[in-house]
């Protein structure tokens, strides 16, 4: 594989994450999940908080899961969704890794965000 193709392959996860977040309902849902931390939120809670029909939200959550931004687990009858903090860190790293060459102040800013 030539260098350009390898770099293109490496960008696919970043493109998938940014594409998933480039829609209002998904971005709002993701922000709520980030706020909820490792406890996550049930799909019904998210639907009520966003004033979105559960079946509509299900599609949006599926897109976020497929992009690797969200995990889902079952607790009894409920689907609990959580943001994948490691994916957020990977996304931020991907966005700044090439621009930091010669600009350490940019990298320092990202490293102080405190998401682990």
**pTM as predicted:** 0.80
Q: What are phi and psi of 113, to 5 degrees?
A: -65, -25
Percent helix, strand and coil across the chain, each to the nearest 5: 65, 10, 20
Residue 41 near residue 75 (C-beta atoms within 8 A): no
Task: Spell out the domains of the chain, with CATH numbers in brackets.
Answer: 3-84 (1.10.10.10)
Which of the 8 DSSP states describes residue 42?
Answer: E
Q: Each residue of 13-58: pLDDT tens digit?
A: 999 999 999 999 999 999 999 999 999 999 999 999 999 999 999 9
Q: How confident is the model at residue 90 (pLDDT cuts 50, 70, 90)?
A: confident
């Amino acid at each position: 594989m030539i260098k350009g193709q390898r770099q293109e392959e490496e960008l696919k996860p970043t493109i998938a994450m940014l594409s998933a977040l480039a829609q209002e309902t998904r971005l709002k849902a993701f922000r709520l999940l980030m706020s909820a931390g490792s406890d996550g939120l049930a799909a019904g809670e998210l639907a009520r908080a966003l004033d979105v029909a559960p079946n509509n939200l299900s599609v949006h959550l599926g897109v976020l899961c497929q992009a690797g931004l969200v995990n889902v687990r079952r607790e009894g009858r409920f689907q609990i969704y959580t943001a994948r903090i490691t994916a957020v860190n990977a996304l931020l790293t991907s966005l700044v890794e090439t621009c930091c060459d010669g600009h350490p102040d940019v990298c320092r800013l990202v490293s102080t965000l405190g998401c682990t």
